[in-house]
Amino acid sequence: MNKLLLTTLLIGSVVTLSNAAEKYDTKAFRIITKLCTPCHGTPFYMAKQVDGDDWEFFFKKEKTMLKIHKGEPKGLTSLKSSLFKSKKKRIKKFLVNNSKYSGKVHGCDANFCGTHH
């Protein structure tokens, strides 16, 4: 009887922990932190500034993104970097998934706590 109870508790705790695991793309999070955080703040804060349709629009036309960052040398450098160009789809997906009205609210975890300017 005790083994059955312990097994049930063990399975329940494993399922609970796996559901509590990170629900976002940590690779994209780290790329955004590296490229965008100096000007825009943390990735979740940045993503929440606009809705998913706006992020789709910004990423659809590269000229729009460059025009927005025209007066920002750091921003232009980040947008023209090979890292941004190679991970552009992944970054866009992260920002859309965590955008305003997405229904996702992330708090502090091992990767994110406060803003870094």
Residues 49-84: pLDDT tens digits? 899 999 999 898 878 888 989 999 999 999 999 999
Dihedral of CA atoms 59, 25, 104, 53 in degrees, nearest 10, equals: 10
| 95 within domain boundaries | yes
| 45 within domain boundaries | yes
| 21 within domain boundaries | no
Residues 6+ apart with CB under 8 A from 53: none
The number of folded domains in the chain is 1
| 64 within domain boundaries | yes
| 14 within domain boundaries | no
| 18 within domain boundaries | no
3-31 average pLDDT score: 71
Half-sphere exposure of 42 (CA within 13 A, CB side): 15
- Which residues span the domain enclosing 57? 35-100
